[in-house]
Every structure is written in structure tokens, then in C-alpha cells.
Amino acid sequence: MLLGPVLVDFLLVLLVMGFLGAFLPYGILQTAFTRDNPLAPLLMACVAIPVYVTPMEVMVQFEHIVRDGYSLAAAFALIVLGAGANVGVANWLRRDYGWRALGFFSLMLLISTLGIAALADRSLASDSKIMKDHTHAFDSYTRLPSGSTYGPGYVYEEVRREMLPSQQWALGVFGVMTLTGLVLRRRGGQCELWIRRWIAGLDQAVVGRGLNRALSTRTVVVLGVALSVGFGTVLAYVYYPSAPNLLRDIAAVRTELYENVIHEDRQACHRRIHQMDALMAKFPVSQLLRHGGSTEVQKACLKDWVERLDVLREFLIRGDFPAARTVLRYVEQGHLQFRKALENGSAQEIQDRATPPTTASPPGSGIDGSEE
């Protein structure tokens, strides 16, 4: 298969991407997809169709577009046409279904994508989002910056540096499959004959050993219940990770929350607090699965941390950001107490709980840089 028509599709995608990167000047796409440009989704379609963007890469670029305040219509066109279509797919449609089917499919895809994209900026874009003067999200589609020498050695080093070990193994497997394909093509149709004889021999061996027997309804039910219980247990451990993993996830959300409070982004603050609530609610079940339950000290510290977070939530609901900034240290104390409870499990090694702060006498803050 790798040496048949599919190989032509692969090579066609690589060829078109190479020409696109060779002829687009560096930086030409930095200001082409602004929100005030009505042709942004159409321009993105012209760029996204020739390239192939992996799902992981397209999500990173989507985040850059939203962060820099650029056109969500162009971002939607990039997701559908960049990650979902390419010239290899078009060539496959043309080869198997003809030019007419290819033209109809392409027309419907473009109309539906650009139609939905045209509504994205009007319905989802925030007027309060400040758009940057340029973005580097699309620099990988253009030529490299001028002023340096780029040769085969540079390309080799860049590819080697960017490739993960898993990708290197995948490339090796691809090479082995390609060589196997070359050998099998030279053998003609004998490979399929060998496989049929091998399968027929397996069938005879299984029947002869008595392993090919019908299962009763009770056996199927018992196996189904056992597999369901086992699979459900695995999912429970995945959905309720261990306490260190939960603390690591909370650390990232907590940092974003503190930054949003300092910058007075109320909507983002509520979103981060909701994420922290969801993560903190997993601690009791996680401890129950792994340790048979939480200690009384851990339960008390977790409850205290939740109450401290509720105090911060109340200030944010009222829009009192100066008071909310003073509460950050108070919330952080609850977080540290709970961590010590998980590590030590002893009430004597946990700091005394602080008194809830008020706007008249804030507890001081080491988070936002203000003096106590």
C-alpha cells in the first residue's frame, strides 16, 4: 500500500508544502488574519489547503490566534481546512471518484467552512480583547528569516532536534514497512496466497485442539461483567488521579488564577476558580481509592482551603479586586496547609489557620507584590 497510489498522495502533500514554504516570504502572514479583515478566512483557506497541520499543532496555533486577538474565522478555517483536508485527500477523491465529485466536495466544504467562519467573529469575538500588531503563529508556513545560511546540514539538524524519540521509532517502522512493500511487490500475488494458507492452517489447528467452542450465555455475561468492572476501575483511577498529580494540575490553574486577579480579569477568574473546584473535589475519592480514605486532618484542611477559596470568590463576585488581591495570600496559606497534611498526616506539623481577612485590615500579600 505504501508504494502504491498512497505514496503519490504523500509525495504530493510534501511537494506542495515545500513550494509553499519556498515562495511565501518570511513574516507575510503576521498581519494578514486580523479581525477587521473580512477576507481573513478566505486567505486562510488559500494557505491551509496546501499545508497539512497535525491536530496538536493546529490547537497550539488556535491558542496563539485567540491570545493575540486575531480572527476567529481564520482560526476555524485553519482547523477544518488545515487539519481536516489537504491536497493528498483531494488527489484521492479525484483518483477514486473523478473530477466532478472532487469539485462538488471541495465547493461544499469551502462554502460550509467559510459560512460558519464568517459568523465566528460576530458571535464569539470579544470586543475587550486587545489585538496585537502582529502574530508569529504562522511563521512555520513561510520561508526562514533572511540573513543566515540554510543548507542540507541545517535542515538535518533541525529535523533531528525537533523529532521526538517516538517519532524516530515511527520513521524506522515506516522504513521497514516500505522495504517490506518493495519485497512483496516483487513477489506478486504469492503473499496473499501465503496468508490464506496460513489462516486455513490456523483454523484447522484450532478446531483440532477443541478451542473453537461456543460460549454459553452465562459465560458471556460473567466475562462481560468482569471486563466492565475492570475497565471501570481503570477509568476511576484515571479520572481520579493521585494527590501529587492533582496538586500539579492545580498548581497550573492556581498560577493563572492569581495572575488573573492581579490583572482584574473577572471572567477568567471565575473560570479558574471553577476549574480549581472541580480538581479539589477529586481529592476525597482519590484518597479513598489509594489509601482507603483521607485522615481527619486532611479532610479539615481541604474544607478550610475550599472555604478560603469561597472568600476570594465573594470578593470577585462583588468586583472588589483590591480586596481580592489581599486574600491571595490567605488562599495560598490554605493550599500550603493542605499540602503539609498530605505529606505529614499530622496535626502538629500543620500551621495554625489564619483568621479570614477583611478589607479594613488585609493580611498582606506576597502574591501581588504589595507590602504587608
DSSP line for 14-46: HHHHHHHHHHSPTTTTSSSS-TT-TTHHHHHHH
Instruction: Single out the residue in 70, 92, 125 at which a domain terminates.
Output: 125
The rounded distance, in Å, linking the Cα atoms of 62 and 39 is: 18
On the CB side of 67, CA atoms within 13 Å amount to 9
- Whole-prediction pTM: 0.45
How far from each other are the two terminal CA atoms of the chain, in whole angstroms?
A: 70
The rounded distance, in Å, linking the Cα atoms of 343 and 349 is: 10
Q: Report if residue 267 sits inside a domain.
A: yes
Q: Report if residue 206 sits inside a domain.
A: no
pLDDT of the residue at 212:
61
pLDDT of the residue at 150:
65
pLDDT in tens, the chain (372 residues): 566 777 788 888 888 887 777 777 776 777 777 777 788 888 888 888 888 777 777 887 777 777 777 778 888 888 888 888 888 888 888 988 989 988 998 899 889 888 888 887 666 655 445 666 666 667 777 776 665 566 677 777 777 777 778 888 888 888 888 788 777 777 655 666 777 777 776 666 555 455 566 778 888 899 999 999 999 889 988 888 888 899 998 998 888 888 888 888 888 888 888 888 888 989 888 888 888 888 888 889 999 999 999 999 888 888 888 988 888 889 899 999 998 988 875 443 344 444 455 444 444 444 444 443
Q: Report if residue 363 sits inside a domain.
A: no
Q: Report if residue 213 sits inside a domain.
A: no
pLDDT of the residue at 149:
63
CATH number at residue 244: 1.20.120
pLDDT of the residue at 207:
55
Q: Report if residue 356 sits inside a domain.
A: no
Q: Report if residue 210 sits inside a domain.
A: no
pLDDT of the residue at 72:
82
Q: Report if residue 312 sits inside a domain.
A: yes
Q: Report if residue 182 sits inside a domain.
A: no
The rounded distance, in Å, linking the Cα atoms of 294 and 99 is: 65
Instruction: Single out the residue in 67, 90, 125 at which a domain terminates.
Output: 125
Q: In whole angstroms, how large is the CA radius of gyration of the chain?
A: 29
Number of structural domains (the chain) is 2
Instruction: Single out the residue in 90, 125, 160 at which a domain terminates.
Output: 125
Range of the domain at 21: 5-125
On the CB side of 341, CA atoms within 13 Å amount to 26
pLDDT of the residue at 355:
46
pLDDT of the residue at 360:
40
Q: Report whether 52 contacts 88 (CB < 8 A).
A: yes
pLDDT of the residue at 222:
92
User: What residue type is 319 in one-letter code?
Assistant: G
Q: Report whether 13 contacts 89 (CB < 8 A).
A: no
The helix-helix angle for 243-262 and 283-291 (nearest 10°) equals: 160
User: In 3D, which of 233, 270, 238, 234 has the Cα closest to residue 253?
Assistant: 270
The rounded distance, in Å, linking the Cα atoms of 160 and 53 is: 19
